[in-house]
Each structure stands twice: as structure tokens, then as C-alpha cells.
């Protein structure tokens, strides 16, 4: 009987497996298991894993920490908005706040050094998309995500917001400048 | 039950219960109207993302993108799916529909929800995208419309289950329900899970938008919302796979290679598909790697395994049917001699190939925990789901429509010449569209973004020229696909409301090869393998499946390589 009629054999579950099906199921199962184990494998041997380190926070508390870093490590300002460019010491905790419609502050990091990058939102949900290196994460208000990053390419990276956050969403940009390491 | 409540379609032998028939028609008509609204939004959105045209201002763009998402992903598909549930229960089991009055109540609630939600979006106070992530607020009616629609759809699910009970009780069939009905049951079970999740997240959000609740946690919202948002797309998968099996049966008289395998694969969907809400949370703060890995892989990719099984058994059953009719030359005569001019078949087959090769592979790759870092929220994501939901689900439903117009609506298919080309224009246009989107996403172009050129912003960024070219291709192919969608709506509306009545199968408007009343195929001496090769009943399909696997493995490897090139992080 065809697939839109009841099965011809009442005891259809005893019908033996067709060989083409059995072979394909075995191959597909092996591939599925391979893909599954690839993820834990990469946690052990790969270098690009998103940390699960995160803390509950509030916009006020997060902004206070960000501002403290800005006050201490600002090296210059850019654009007619006088956006601070902050150069925190290698290995330190770096704070980045997403808010309507800006990534605050601009950052200057050193190539080959490791930083603990804390990111949170001060209002709605935002998306951290670092281009052109192409690293993308979700940023939520009330949650402080901590990524340990090691920039290994020098040059200018742009942070684009890639979670819709209202009518100015497409103007929400930020920068991470990566300088060549010191002498 | 009096006989007068039933009508038997003389060509197909399908038996329609009058109430069920009216409900199926009503749901299908509403679905097509929604498709028209969502399609107009699609055109305007596409013309805005096409950099050379950049049609709409930003606020309009975000408003129409919201409308496009909600109308297409929720209203069009679920309305059509309720029609399919009624067809697969009442019609395929030759049984009266349970509680038709309550079913009509469900229909009215769905319609009311569609109107309330669309009015909220049209007012410009609910441009929050389909996902409506808190704490971005929307007009309360946005959520209320979705809730009303969900309650109506839930009623439809229970009417379907009730009809299965009626059929069993009144012994309208013997043994087990047909495979296609089993697939519809799978869709129904997933739909109930989906709608319950929707209620759990949307009712508090609605109360929050009214000021009755203080705070909705954004992380919690995302976990539960995606149990609605992603699972609703799993309803589609189960439903369109059921439609593939149905069309294989309708056009070829195909029977499943084995009931056990196909039903087992549907069962894997029931057990594991819903875990996929994790796909959207792979780069969210605070979730553990173990949680992400288990959920994003549907346990151990067992639902992917199920789709790979259907991807073999659907064309495999067609191959066996064709071979037993004598198309046994070489590996692919069965496919070459398939009725490519019949939109019921061509649409279904393009849907199957597009869903598997484009939607399936990209979905698994971007749902890999670490690879998601290079893909999350780029335009790669809509590239992926337009391949699953548009080429997969929508095109499958379009193909089924060309069968329903004559048997359900008793009208000839109008403009048969156009109908014949429609699946090609729509399916191939959409294939180019999705591939170009994925290419642009790989270059970092964002989704839900009005201006990739960042004109007049304080800071700026230049995408490579190739990203602009790819978005231009997205524009051109998108318009081609939308034209294909417009032809579908034109053919459907003209056929249903102004079409000539059907008198016999020869007046359907296009050639059907065989219909469901065709004699079920007999197993040849020596089993199906006798008509195949290498001891395989469906050798051509097996070769296609292996080709699919090679592409899958290569593309998977390429993405790990790309990931390895980004900044080290932990």
C-alpha cells in the first residue's frame, strides 16, 4: 500500500530492513557520532571556544566598572563625539558596554597579548560582531559575559551590532585597534 | 453518520467529509492570503537589502521585516499546516472530523490573532522583529495576536487528535494509520510542545507590556522563546516530510521502502527535534558547553540522522516505484523519466534537494557549538532558514496545492503553462538567493540590518566589494523567487475562485501520471532488489545520498578550518 494508505501488513514492524536503508543508516549514524564528538574534541584541542564565564550584573554596576577603566587608561579621543580610546594593560580586565546605539569605549589592544574582555548591555539586547575577523556573540542586559581573547592580527577591527536594537541599530559601531607588540 | 456528509472524489478516490472539506478550504485560503501579505513585505525588504536600490527608509524596513517574519514563519505555515492535519486525518482515514464547531472556533481565533497582530505591526508600534526580544517593548497587541493565533492552532491540533480517535473508534481503517498521517501526528505533537512554550513565554511578556509584570529576564526569554521559534520550524519539517511521502504516493503510487524505518525516523523527530532551540543560544552568556553540545546536536545528531533517513527513503521509494514500472536502465533512468512537467512532482523534488543540500547541511554546520561563533546573527542565518522553510516547506506546500486544487476545490489549475514553470522559478531563484546570502554572511554581512554601507555614521566600516556583489545577487534572485511566489498566488486564486470545474482527471489542467487510486505496487519476485543493482533496491538514490554525504563532509571541514583562523579565545 502507498504511504497515504494504512500499511498492507498489519504487523509492519516485522518487515525486514531493506539493504539500501540499513547501509545508509549505518553510514549516517557514524557521521552523526563523528560530528557530535568533534565539539568536545575542539574544547580540548582547538583554540576557539567561547567561555561560559558570565555574571549577573546591572547596567549601573557595569557602567561604573567601564567608566573606571576609561578614566584610568584613555589615551586619546576620536570623532567629533570625542569617543575615548582606551589602551588597557595586557592581561587586564577590559570592559565594553553596548548601548543605544554605540559600543563604549573604543579599545586599543596589543597583538599577541591576552585580555579578559567583559561585555554587557546597558539597555536592550545587542549583538557583538567583530569584523573582519568575524567573531559574533549575543549580549544581554543584566548579564556580563567574559571572553578571554588573544588578538593575533594587527590592524583595525570594527564592532558591528548584529542584534536588532531599534531604528538606529545599523549605526551602532565600535572599534578595536590592534597594535603591533612593543619592541 | 449519513452518507450525505461525505463526497468521494471520482478521480482520486479520496473521501472528503463535508465539514472537514470546508475547514481545509478555509485554512488554505487564509494561508494563501497571508502568503500574499508576507510576499509583498518580502519584495520591499529584498529591494532594500539590494544595495544598489536600498528602497525603504530604516523605520519602514524594520517594520516590514517584522511583518514578513511573523506572517511567513508563523501565520502562513501554521495555517496551511492545520489544513494538512485535517486532510491527513479526516480525508486519508475516510472519517468524519471530530467536533467541527470547535474546529471553526479554532479557525476564528487564528484569524483574529492574525488580524490583531498585523494591525499592531501596521501601526508602527511593534517593529520588534518576529523574535520580539525583551526588554525591547512592543505594542501589547503584538503579543496578544500571537497568543490568540496559538490558542486557535492548539484547538486545531486537538481536533486532529480527536479525529484519529474517531477513526479508530468507528473502524474506518484497519491496522495502523498511514505513514503520511503518522508524519502529520509527529507534526501535531511537536506543535503542541511549541504552542505550550509559546504560551509560557508570550503570556508573561504580554502582561509585562501592559505593565502588570516588572521584569522579564532576557536570557530566560530566549531559552523559552526559541522553544517556540525553532520548534515551530520543526513542525514544518515533520509536515513537509509527510507531504513529500504523500506526493511520492500520489504521483507514483510509491510505498515506503519499509514502514519501520520511515516511522522510526519520525519518532526520532518527536524525541529529539525540540532540543534545537539551543541553536540560537550557542553564543549566549552563561550557558555551559555541555548544555550547548547536547542540545544543539539533538542529543547525538539523532534528529539529523532522521532527516538523512527521510532524504534517502523518499526518493528511494520513488525509485523503487519507477523501477517496478520498467525504468530500470542505468542508475538514473527512473529520475530522468520522472514527470518533470508536473508541478506536483517537480516542486516536491526541488524541495527535497534544496532542503537537504542547502538547508540541511548549513543548519548542521552553523549549529555546531564553536562554528556558530563565525555565523551567529550574520545574514548566513536567514540564508539557512530560507532554504529549509522556503525551499523545503513552502515549496512542498505549493506542490501539494497543485494536487488539492482539482481534488479538493474541484477546479482546473488555471494557467497550466505558468504552473509548470513556477516550482523551477521559485525553487531555483530561492536556491541562488540562499547561497548568496550564506556567502555574504561568511563575509560578515549582518542580518536585520538596514545599511551595510554605514553611511553617515560616526565610525565607519567597509565590507569587501564581493559582499556588495553577493547582496546584489541576493536582490536579483530574491525578486525572481518572489515572482515565482506571485505566480503561485495568481494560479491558486484564479483556479479556486474563477477556475473551470473539473470533470475528469484529464481536465486537471496538467498531466498527472498516476493518482492515489493507482494499484499499490506489488513486490516483484526476488524482492525490490531484483529491479535494482548491487543488491540494492534503490541504487541511484544511494549514489545521490553518498554524493550528499561527500558535500556535507567537505563543507563541514571547510568551516572548521575557517574557525581555526579567527582569534584564539577561551
Task: Tell the burial category of B150 from Cβ atoms under 10 Å away from its Cβ (0-12, 13-18, 19+).
Answer: buried
Mutate to test the interface with B, among A1, A2, A173 (most CBs of B within 10 A): A2
| pLDDT (mean) for B254-275 | 93
Nearest to B315 by CA among B543, B157, B521: B543
Domain count, chain B: 2
Task: State pTM to two decimals.
Answer: 0.95
DSSP string, B295-357: HHTHHHHHHHHHHHHHHHHHHHHHHHHHHHTT--STTTHHHHTS-TT-HHHHHHHHHHHIIII
Task: Give the model's pLDDT for residue B508.
Answer: 66
Residue contact B536–A52, C-beta within 8 A? no
What residues of A are in contact with residue B538 (Cβ under 8 Å)?
Answer: 18, 20
Residue B174 lies in a domain: yes
| pLDDT (mean) for B120-141 | 97
> What percentage of chain A carries pLDDT values higher than 70?
98
Whole-number Å distance between alpha carbons of A76 and A87: 9
Residue B268 lies in a domain: no
Task: Give the model's pLDDT for residue B529.
Answer: 60
Nearest to A137 by CA among B123, B374, B276: B374
Task: Give the model's pLDDT for residue B227.
Answer: 93
Residue range B315-371, pLDDT digits in tens: 999 999 999 888 999 999 999 999 999 999 999 999 999 999 999 999 999 999 999
Task: Give the model's pLDDT for residue B515.
Answer: 46
Are the C-beta atoms of residues B227 and B197 closer than 8 Å to each other?
yes
| pLDDT (mean) for B518-532 | 56
| pLDDT (mean) for A4-24 | 89
Whole-number Å distance between alpha carbons of B553 and A35: 10
Three cell numbers at A175? Answer: 572599534
Whole-number Å distance between alpha carbons of B517 and B13: 6
- Band of pLDDT at residue B518, cut at 50, 70 and 90: very low
Bridge partner list, A102: A99
Secondary-structure percent of chain B, ordered helix, strand, coil, rounded to 5: 70, 0, 30
Q: CB-CB: which of B178, B288, B546 is closest to A52?
A: B288
CATH of the domain at B71: 1.20.210.10
| pLDDT (mean) for B513-541 | 64
Does any CB of chain B come closer than 8 Å to the CB of residue A142? yes
- Band of pLDDT at residue B509, cut at 50, 70 and 90: low
Between the two ends of chain B, the Cα-to-Cα distance in Å is: 67
Nearest to A76 by CA among A68, A86, A67: A86
What residues of A are in contact with residue B129 (Cβ under 8 Å)?
Answer: 164
Task: Tell the burial category of B466 from Cβ atoms under 10 Å away from its Cβ (0-12, 13-18, 19+).
Answer: exposed
Nearest to B264 by CA among A34, A35, A15: A15
Residue range B164-194, pLDDT digits in tens: 999 999 999 999 999 999 999 999 999 999 9
Residue B248 and residue B374 in one domain = no
Task: Give the model's pLDDT for residue B519.
Answer: 46
- Band of pLDDT at residue A26, cut at 50, 70 and 90: very high
Are the C-beta atoms of residues A3 and B254 closer than 8 Å to each other?
yes
Mean pLDDT, chain A, integer: 95
Question: Taking the C-alpha atoms of B67, B70, B75 and B78 in order, what is their torsion angle to the nearest 10 degrees?
Answer: 160
Whole-number Å distance between alpha carbons of A93 and A143: 16
Helices B416-442 and B343-353 cross at an angle (nearest 10°) of: 10
Q: How far is CA B125 from its chain centroid? A: 29
> Cis bond leading into B132, ω under 30°?
no
The ipTM estimated for the assembled molecules is 0.96
Residue contact B297–A36, C-beta within 8 A? yes
| pLDDT (mean) for B476-496 | 97
Whole-number Å distance between alpha carbons of B250 and B342: 12
State which of B499, B515, B531 marks the end of a domain.
Answer: B515
| pLDDT (mean) for B17-37 | 96
Rg of chain B's alpha carbons, rounded to an integer? 23
Are the C-beta atoms of residues B95 and B172 closer than 8 Å to each other?
yes
Does any CB of chain A come closer than 8 Å to the CB of residue B545? yes
Residue B64 has pLDDT above 80, yes or no: yes
Whole-number Å distance between alpha carbons of A122 and B530: 68
Task: Give the model's pLDDT for residue B142.
Answer: 98
- Band of pLDDT at residue B139, cut at 50, 70 and 90: very high
Residue contact B255–A1, C-beta within 8 A? yes
Are the C-beta atoms of residues A48 and B378 closer than 8 Å to each other?
no
Residue B3 lies in a domain: no
Residue B138 has pLDDT above 70, yes or no: yes
Task: Give the model's pLDDT for residue B530.
Answer: 64
Task: Give the model's pLDDT for residue A16.
Answer: 84
DSSP string, B65-102: HHHHHIIIIIIIHHHHHHHHHHIIIIITTT-PPS-HHH
Helix (H) or strand (E) holding B561: helix B539-564
Residue B207 lies in a domain: yes
Mean pLDDT, chain B, integer: 93
- Using CA coordinates, name the residue in chain B closest to A12: B259
Does any CB of chain A come closer than 8 Å to the CB of residue B261? yes
Interface of A with B in 44-63 (CB under 8 A): 46-52, 54
Residue contact A7–B260, C-beta within 8 A? no
Residue range B357-400, pLDDT digits in tens: 999 999 999 999 999 999 999 999 999 999 999 999 999 999 99
Residue B39 has pLDDT above 70, yes or no: yes
Are the C-beta atoms of residues B508 and B450 closer than 8 Å to each other?
no
Residue B241 and residue B360 in one domain = no
Whole-number Å distance between alpha carbons of B22 and B16: 10
Residue B373 lies in a domain: yes
Bridge partner list, A137: A128
- Band of pLDDT at residue B274, cut at 50, 70 and 90: confident
Helix (H) or strand (E) holding B277: none
The 3-class SS string of B142-177 reads HHHHHHHHHHHHHHHHHHHHHHHHHHHHCCCCCCCC
- Using CA coordinates, name the residue in chain B closest to A41: B370
> What percentage of chain B carries pLDDT values higher than 90?
88
Question: Taking the C-alpha atoms of B175, B181, B185 and B186 in order, what is their torsion angle to the nearest 10 degrees?
Answer: 110
Residue A1 has pLDDT above 60, yes or no: no
Residue range A108-160, pLDDT digits in tens: 999 999 999 999 999 999 999 999 999 999 999 999 999 999 999 999 999 99
Residue reference for cell 522583529:
B129
Fold of A54-179: Immunoglobulin-like (2.60.40)
- Using CA coordinates, name the residue in chain A closest to B457: A171
Residue A37 has pLDDT above 60, yes or no: yes
Pairing of strands A54-56, A143-149: antiparallel
Residue range B222-246, pLDDT digits in tens: 999 999 999 999 999 999 999 999 9
| pLDDT (mean) for B61-90 | 97
Residue B306 lies in a domain: no
- Using CA coordinates, name the residue in chain B closest to A30: B305
Residue B516 has pLDDT above 60, yes or no: no
| pLDDT (mean) for A81-107 | 96
State which of B231, B258, B285 marks the end of a domain.
Answer: B258
Please give the residue range of the domain that contains residue B467.
Answer: 341-452+462-515
Domain ranges of chain A: 12-45, 54-179
Min distance B260 CA to chain A CA atoms (Å) = 5
Residue B386 and residue B483 in one domain = yes
Task: Give the model's pLDDT for residue B475.
Answer: 98
Nearest to A99 by CA among A75, A87, A83, A80: A83
Amino acid at each position: 500500500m502507498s504511504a497515504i494508505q494504512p500499511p498492507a501488513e498489519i504487523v509492519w514492524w516485522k518487515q525486514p530492513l531493506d539493504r539500501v536503508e540499513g547501509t545508509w543508516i549505518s553510514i549516517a549514524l557514524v557521521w552523526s557520532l563523528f560530528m557530535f564528538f568533534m565539539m568536545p574534541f575542539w574544547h580540548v584541542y582547538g583554540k576557539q571556544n567561547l567561555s561560559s564565564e558570565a555574571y549577573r550584573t546591572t547596567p549601573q554596576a557595569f557602567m561604573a566598572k567601564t567608566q573606571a577603566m576609561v578614566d584610568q587608561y584613555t589615551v586619546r579621543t576620536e570623532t567629533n563625539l570625542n569617543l575615548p580610546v582606551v589602551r588597557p594593560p595586557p592581561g587586564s580586565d577590559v570592559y565594553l558596554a553596548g548601548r543605544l546605539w554605540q559600543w563604549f569605549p573604543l579599545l586599543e589592544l596589543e597583538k599577541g597579548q591576552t585580555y579578559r574582555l567583559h561585555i554587557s548591555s546597558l539597555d536592550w539586547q545587542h549583538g557583538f560582531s567583530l569584523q573582519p575577523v568575524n567573531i559574533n556573540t549575543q549580549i544581554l542586559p543584566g548579564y556580563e559575559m567574559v571572553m578571554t581573547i588573544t588578538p593575533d592580527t594587527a590592524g583595525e577591527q570594527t564592532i558591528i551590532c548584529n542584534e536588532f536594537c531599534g531604528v538606529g541599530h545599523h549605526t551602532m559601531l565600535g572599534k578595536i585597534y590592534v597594535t603591533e607588540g612593543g619592541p | 453518520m449519513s452518507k450525505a456528509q461525505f463526497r468521494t472524489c471520482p478521480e482520486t478516490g479520496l473521501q472528503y467529509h463535508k465539514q472537514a472539506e470546508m475547514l481545509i478550504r478555509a485554512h488554505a485560503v487564509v494561508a494563501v492570503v497571508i502568503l500574499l501579505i508576507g510576499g509583498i513585505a518580502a519584495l520591499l525588504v529584498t529591494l532594500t537589502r539590494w544595495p544598489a536600490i536600498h528602497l525603504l527608509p530604516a523605520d519602514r524596513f524594520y517594520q516590514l521585516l517584522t511583518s514578513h517574519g511573523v506572517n511567513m514563519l508563523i501565520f502562513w505555515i501554521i495555517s496551511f499546516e492545520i489544513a494538512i492535519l485535517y486532510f491527513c486525518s479526516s480525508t486519508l482515514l475516510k472519517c468524519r472530523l471530530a467536533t467541527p464547531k470547535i474546529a471553526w472556533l479554532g479557525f476564528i481565533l487564528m484569524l483574529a490573532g492574525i488580524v490583531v497582530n498585523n494591525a499592531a505591526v501596521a501601526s508602527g508600534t511593534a517593529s520588534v522583529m518576529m523574535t520580539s526580544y525583551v526588554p525591547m517593548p512592543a505594542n501589547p497587541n503584538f503579543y496578544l495576536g500571537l497568543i490568540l493565533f496559538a490558542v486557535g492552532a492548539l484547538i486545531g491540533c486537538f481536533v486532529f487528535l480527536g479525529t484519529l480517535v474517531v477513526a479508530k473508534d468507528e473502524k474506518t481503517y484497519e491496522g495502523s494509520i498511514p505513514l503520511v498521517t503518522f508524519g502529520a501526528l509527529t507534526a501535531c505533537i511537536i506543535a503542541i510542545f511549541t504552542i505550550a512554550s509559546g504560551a509560557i513565554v508570550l503570556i508573561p511578556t504580554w502582561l509585562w507590556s501592559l505593565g502588570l509584570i516588572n521584569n522579564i529576564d532576557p536570557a530566560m526569554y530566549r531559552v523559552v522563546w526559541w522553544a517556540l521559534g525553532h520548534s515551530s520550524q520543526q513542525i514544518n519539517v515533520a509536515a513537509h516530510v509527510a507531504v513529500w511521502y504523500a506526493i511520492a504516493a500520489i504521483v507514483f503510487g510509491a510505498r515506503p521502502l519499509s514502514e519501520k524505518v520511515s516511522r522510526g525516523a519520525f519518532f526520532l523527530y518527536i524525541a529529539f527535534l525540540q532540543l534545537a532551540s539551543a541553536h540560537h543560544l550557542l553564543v549566549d552568556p552563561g550557558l555551559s558547553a555541555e548544555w550547548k553540545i547536547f542540545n544543539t546536536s539533538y542529543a547525538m545528531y539523532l534528529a539529523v540522522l532522521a532527516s538523512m533517513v527521510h532524504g534517502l527513503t523518499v526518493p528511494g521509494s520513488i525509485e523503487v516505484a519507477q523501477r517496478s514500472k520498467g525504468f530500470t536502465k542505468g542508475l538514473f533512468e527512473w529520475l530522468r523519466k520522472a514527470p518533470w512537467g508536473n508541478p506536483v512532482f517537480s516542486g516536491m523534488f526541488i524541495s527535497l534537494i534544496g532542503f537537504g543540500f542547502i538547508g540541511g547541511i548549513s543548519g548542521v554546520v552553523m549549529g555546531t557549538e564553536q562554528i556558530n561563533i563565525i555565523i551567529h546573527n550574520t545574514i548566513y542565518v536567514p540564508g539557512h532558514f530560507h532554504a529549509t522553510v522556503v525551499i523545503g516547506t513552502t515549496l512542498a506546500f505549493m506542490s501539494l496545492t497543485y494536487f488539492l486544487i482539482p481534488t479538493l476545490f474541484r477546479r482546473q489549475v488555471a494557467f497550466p503553462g505558468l504552473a509548470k514553470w513556477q516550482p523551477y522559478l521559485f525553487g531555483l531563484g530561492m536556491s541562488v538567493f540562499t547561497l548568496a546570502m550564506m556567502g555574504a554572511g561568511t563575509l560578515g554581512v549582518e542580518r536585520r540590518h538596514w545599511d551595510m554601507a554605514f553611511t553617515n555614521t560616526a565610525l565607519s566600516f567597509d565590507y569587501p566589494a564581493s559582499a556588495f556583489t553577493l547582496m546584489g545577487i541576493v536582490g536579483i534572485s530574491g525578486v525572481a523567487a518572489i515572482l515565482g511566489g506571485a505566480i503561485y498566488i495568481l494560479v491558486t486564486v484564479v483556479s479556486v475562485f474563477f477556475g473551470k470545474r473539473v470533470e475528469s482527471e484529464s481536465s486537471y489542467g496538467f498531466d498527472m501520471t498516476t493518482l492515489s487510486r493507482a494499484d499499490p505496487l506489488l513486490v516483484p519476485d526476488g524482492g525490490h532488489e531484483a529491479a535494482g543493482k548491487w543488491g540494492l533496491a534503490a541504487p541511484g538514490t544511494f549514489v545521490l545520498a553518498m554524493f550528499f554525504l561527500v558535500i556535507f563532509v567537505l563543507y563541514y571541514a571547510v568551516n572548521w578550518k575557517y574557525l581555526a583562523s579567527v582569534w584564539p579565545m577561551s
